[in-house]
Structure 1
Amino acid sequence: MTFYDGRSGFITVVSGPMFAEKSGELVNRCMKEEKYAGKKVIAFKPSNDNRFAEDEIVSRLGLKMKAVSINKMINDDLEEEILKSSKGCDIVAFDEAQFFSEKIVDIVLEIAYRGSHVIVAGLDLDFRAKPFGYMGELMTIADEVIKKTAFCPCCGRPARFTQRLVDGFPAKEGPIELIGDTDSYEPRCRNCYVPPFKA
């Protein structure tokens, strides 16, 4: 449950595997605050993830909202631009945050210090079941962490892991970042997940 009172900064991190509707949680929270509480909202997404739209965050259940597409490698100029464009916003959201470079942590902290509610969504683990990007640090500094699960297609249990597939079989190797969908990934529970070294 969120205890953000609108008077002080707050950080919410939504994490979990692929197909867990993390983006949907982010969009739903932003839309409710904007529609029912009249809050000013701005959202950002990494430009390398354009599976569903270039300028929108889109959930698998069809929820969507406008978003500013930005380079995942955040330099000083882009950091300044993000802080400037989010100034005065009640809610500042970042989707697919696992792709952003280290500066995302400082940016989230700065926006929260200014009094905004920052909502961050992303994969907490990569296909090797290792911490993905700076999501671990974001979860550490968060006031609220929401751990989402999907459904394991192998057994129906709650899925916490993201299984990368190659020709339908668990991947043994590959780059950490590989944009894909149901053709390359599926959620798995701990019992059904196969780490690369056991594939």
Structure 2
Amino acid sequence: MIYNDGKAGFLTVIIGPMFSEKSGELIKQCLLSQNYQNKTVRIYKPVIDDRYGEDEVVSRIGLRMPAHNISQEITPELIRTILVDCETADLVAFDEAQFFSEGLLELTLGLLDRKKQVMIAGLNLDYLGRPFGCIGQLLLHADEVIVKKAYCKCCGRPAMYTQRVIDGQPVTARNLDSELVLIGDQESYEARCRLCFVKD
């Protein structure tokens, strides 16, 4: 939904596993708002996510839009800066939101108080099946939630989990020896359904 009548803020949260086209959905909604509603759009992404470039949000199916890199640590100073930068924006979007600190919640609420439409895309679960970042808190404030599904790498069923793999073998809580955040793609992660997801 693309909705902003200027009377109140509106929060859309897009969640799902890796390979579910969350970024694609975010870009599509932003392009529709920009091209058909003549809205001013501003997109932010965490500086650590440089897989497809530093100044764009890019989806796996080739959609792309300009974006601003910001620190994943959302400090009070950064919140003030973004609120000023977005004064003339109608729609403010954040991609890969799971990488941002809990300050993203405060920033989002500040934008909503200023009657902005806010769109946030991110993983809701980490590769161990646990809530990831502040996405869960953002969901509590969402006017709209879009749940994207991928296809399970093992069986093709609808997938809601992201499995980290090393040499094709699942990384679980038992054999965990790496950091929670590992920027990667198909070489490090697979979409898995509930049946095929390995947690223990």
With structure 1 as the length reference, what TM-score do the two structures score?
A: 0.95
Instruction: Please report how far the alpha carbon of residue 5 of structure 1 lies from its aligned counterpart in structure 2 after TM superposition.
Output: 3.8
| Residue matched to 2:191 | 187
SS at match of 1:69: strand
| Residue matched to 2:105 | 105
**Pairwise mapping of residues 68-79 of structure 1 onto structure 2 (< 5 A)?**
68-79=68-79
With structure 2 as the length reference, what TM-score do the two structures score?
A: 0.95
**Pairwise mapping of residues 32-111 of structure 1 onto structure 2 (< 5 A)?**
32-111=32-111
SS at match of 2:109: helix
Judged with a 3 Å threshold, the aligned counterparts in structure 2 of structure 1 residues 3 and 86 are, in CA distance, closer, same or farther, namely closer
Partners of 1:81 and 1:8 in 2: CA distance: 21
SS at match of 2:50: coil
Instruction: Give the conservation status (yes or no) of the 8 Å contact 1:57–1:65.
Output: yes
RMSD: 1.1
SS at match of 1:35: helix
Partners of 1:2 and 1:84 in 2: CA distance: 23
Instruction: Give the conservation status (yes or no) of the 8 Å contact 2:12–2:145.
Output: yes
Partners of 2:189 and 2:90 in 1: CA distance: 35
Moved over 4 A (4+): 1-4
**Equivalent residue letter for 2:152:** C
| Residue matched to 1:160 | 160
**Equivalent residue letter for 1:194:** V
**Equivalent residue letter for 1:185:** Y
Deviation digits for residues 83-129 of structure 1, max 9, x if unmatched?
Answer: 11111211000000001011100100110111110000000000000
- Structure 1: where are the runs of 5+ without partners? none
Q: Does 1:178 align with 2:195?
A: no
| Residue matched to 1:146 | 146
Choose 71-80 or 20-29, whichever is displaced more: 71-80
Instruction: Give the conservation status (yes or no) of the 8 Å contact 1:41–1:89.
Output: yes
Instruction: Please report how far the alpha carbon of residue 168 of structure 1 lies from its aligned counterpart in structure 2 after TM superposition.
Output: 0.7
Instruction: Please report how far the alpha carbon of residue 60 of structure 1 lies from its aligned counterpart in structure 2 after TM superposition.
Output: 0.4
Instruction: Please report how far the alpha carbon of residue 7 of structure 1 lies from its aligned counterpart in structure 2 after TM superposition.
Output: 3.0
| Percent of matched pairs sharing the same residue | 49
- Structure 2: where are the runs of 5+ without partners? none
Instruction: Give the conservation status (yes or no) of the 8 Å contact 1:2–1:144.
Output: no
Instruction: Please report how far the alpha carbon of residue 6 of structure 1 lies from its aligned counterpart in structure 2 after TM superposition.
Output: 4.3
Partners of 1:26 and 1:141 in 2: CA distance: 18
| Residue matched to 1:121 | 121
Judged with a 3 Å threshold, the aligned counterparts in structure 2 of structure 1 residues 3 and 88 are, in CA distance, closer, same or farther, namely closer
